[in-house]
Structure 1
Amino acid sequence: MDTEEATTAAKTPPAADGSRWFYGCSIAVVALFALFALAAHAVTEFEKSLDGDGQMEQPGRSGSAYEPLGPGATARYEDGLRVTVSVPEAHDDGTYSLTVTYENGTDEELALDGDPYSTPLAVRAGEAHDEYATGYTVRQLDGDEAAAALAPPLGEDDERTVPLRLKPSRKGIPVTVEVTPPDTGYRETAHFQLTLG
């Protein structure tokens, strides 16, 4: 082996070239996956910023007037707020009771009682998409108690249950519970459709 071959062999050992190439490719692949993950997270956050934290996001029915949630279902808002309407419970006097539970998973205190221009919790006769039901009615018997339960602010990571007592004009009517938790910007109304009887 002459001097020139020895110098070339010393500069580029065959095993070192293969392992450098392997490690270099491995680092590049890991960096590429990290970039894809960061890009996906950025796109998700950008999408949320476009439609706001007041949008509902849940599998299945949307909670809109045309796809109302059922009894026992939960409306999930992008900012972490959860609202659940229980299954109605019948009583011997012809009334029904149910609850609306708020779970504050946001990073701030929430005022649930709204403002003079919006109703944070409303109950009406009829299907969710039909605001003008005829032939039957429903009365909320404990409006003052429900308003009192909504009055105090709901702290971060706290939960509050608001009881409702309803008296339908007849058994078996559809009733819609509309929940519009107040927000400084915008928050979608969650529609829950129930049957009393």
Structure 2
Amino acid sequence: MSRMHTDTPAAGTSTAHSNRWFTGCAVALLAFFVLIGLGALALAEFEKSLDGHGQLEQDPHPFGPGATARYEDGLEAAVSAPHREPDGTYRFTVTYDNSTEEELLPGGTSSPGPAPLVVREGELYRDHASGYSLEWLNQDEAVSALMPPLGADDTRTVPVHVRPGGEGTPVLVEVTPPSADYRETAYFQLTLD
């Protein structure tokens, strides 16, 4: 009679096979989650590229005094509440906070385009406020303050001094920080009481 010989696995082979299977699954699972994370990041960047980095993150137009307009690329612009002076004029500031990764020119360049800072009587979506007038007393000073480059992680505050033609004058501040491509205008509505 012939004897049948069967191979029996060695004692540690089953455990080694189990460990390799577990390690392979763990590596595959980790790779899967890394790919999902990278895909989500790529999708977020793609979404930003569709509307551009010059878009505002929020849309409460117009902004009120003391509010901050935040752009998707990290630039922030804020307009302080107006303060009345003893002579009946008002002062407020426009502050630029450059949290982007590049130097900006808040005063623009010599190329044509919208003015980087406009202060006028009126309200958003109306050309001018009927019966009101406003004189921007330090326009040249404000323009000069905007001209130097604004480095990454730098802040610049631009003083504005105005004389209203009467109490209750609505003031519209239009902030359009220049960009190589496009930057949305942030509108701030103030009332001089």
Q: Normalising by structure 2, what TM-score?
A: 0.86
Distance 2:116 2:86 in 1: 29
Counterpart residue number, 2:166 = 170
State the shift of 1:130 in Å: 2.0
Q: Deviations over 1:93-149 (max 9, x none)?
A: 111111001112222221222244421100122222222321212221111111111
In the other structure, the counterpart of 2:56 is: 56
What are the superposed Cα offsets for residues 68-107 of structure 1, whole Å, 9 maximum, x if unpaired?
A: 1111111111222111111111112111111001112222
Q: Name the residue aligned to 1:149.
A: 145
Tell me what 1:68 maps to.
Answer: 62
Q: 1:93 to 1:3 in 2, by over 3 A?
A: farther
The higher radius of gyration belongs to 2
2:85 corresponds, among 65, 84, 91, to 91
Moved more, 173-182 or 122-131: 122-131
Counterpart in 1 of 2:116? 120
Q: What is the aligned partner in structure 2 of residue 183 from structure 1?
A: 179
Give the letter aligned to residue 4 of structure 1: T
Amino acid at match of 1:33: F
Q: Give the stretch that moved more between structures: 18-27 or 134-143.
A: 18-27
- Provide the rounded CA distance (Å) in 2 between the counterparts of 1:68 and 1:32: 44
User: Structure 2: which amino acid aligns with 1:82?
Assistant: E
Q: Residue type matched to 1:126 in 2? A: G
Pairing partner for 1:140 from 136, 140, 144: 136
In the superposition, relative to structure 1, how do residues 10 and 154 fare at CA in structure 2: closer, same or farther (>3 Å)?
Answer: same
Name the count of aligned residue pairs.
188
Counterpart CA distance in 1 for 2:169 and 2:5 is: 100
Task: State the superposition RMSD in angstroms.
Answer: 2.1
The answer on whether the counterparts of 2:119 and 2:171 sit within 8 Å (CA) in structure 1 is: yes
Please state how far the C-alpha of 1:9 moved relative to its aligned partner. 4.9
Q: Percent identity?
A: 55
Q: CA-to-partner distance for each residue in 1:38-71, whole Å, 9 max, x for gaps?
A: 001111111222222211113xxx15xxx21111
Kept in 1: contact 2:107–2:116 (CA 8 A): yes
* 1:160 counterpart letter in structure 2: R
Give TM-score, length-normalised by structure 1.
0.85
SS at match of 1:4: coil
Corresponding residue SS for 2:118? strand
Instruction: Find 1:82's aligned residue among 76, 83, 99.
Output: 76
In structure 1, C-alpha distance between the alignment counterparts of 2:42 and 2:11, rounded to whole Å: 48
